[in-house]
């Protein structure tokens, strides 16, 4: 077997794995009811799926003899920004009371940004 055939097999493997992860993320996005669980599926599973698809593109570009590393930059950007955006979306859901509020930590009343001064509280 030539290196090109082996590279093609790896591309196929990465595409199948990546597509499977993206499919599971999409199904999770549609099936979950709570906003926080709905957020969990695409950010965790979808990031790995897109990463595998981009890795397949990198391997294919090396396989055909035209190396491209743009996909590696896209992967790095995706892996850095996806958790940050998921954190912000989660905080918005908590502040809007669209989901269950996390339990109060023991012995600490200033946890995160949920502590509101008495003068700012409604009622």
* Cβ-based neighbour number of residue 40 at 10 Å: 17
Whole-angstrom Cα distance, residue 92 to residue 35? Answer: 10
User: The tokens of 74 are what?
Assistant: 């896209």
Nearest to 52 by CA among 83, 29, 75: 75
Max Cα–Cα distance, the chain, nearest Å: 75
Whole-angstrom Cα distance, residue 87 to residue 43? Answer: 10
Whole-angstrom Cα distance, residue 24 to residue 13? Answer: 17
User: The tokens of 56 are what?
Assistant: 């397949």
Model confidence over 30-82: pLDDT tens digits? 888 877 777 777 787 878 888 899 999 999 999 988 888 888 899 889 888 88
pTM over 0.75: no
Residue spans of the domains in the chain: they are 3-100
């Amino acid at each position: 077997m030539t290196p090109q055939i082996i590279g093609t097999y790896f591309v196929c493997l990465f595409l199948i794995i990546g597509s499977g992860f993206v499919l599971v993320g999409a199904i999770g996005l549609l099936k979950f009811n709570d906003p926080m669980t709905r957020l969990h599926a695409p950010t965790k599973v979808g990031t790995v799926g897109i990463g595998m698809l981009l890795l397949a593109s990198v391997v294919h570009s090396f396989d055909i003899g035209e190396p491209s590393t743009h996909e590696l930059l896209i992967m790095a950007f995706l892996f850095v920004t996806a958790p940050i955006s998921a954190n912000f979306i989660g905080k918005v859901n908590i502040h809007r009371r669209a989901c269950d509020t996390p339990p109060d930590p023991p012995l600490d009343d200033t946890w995160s940004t949920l502590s509101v001064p008495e003068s700012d509280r409604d009622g």
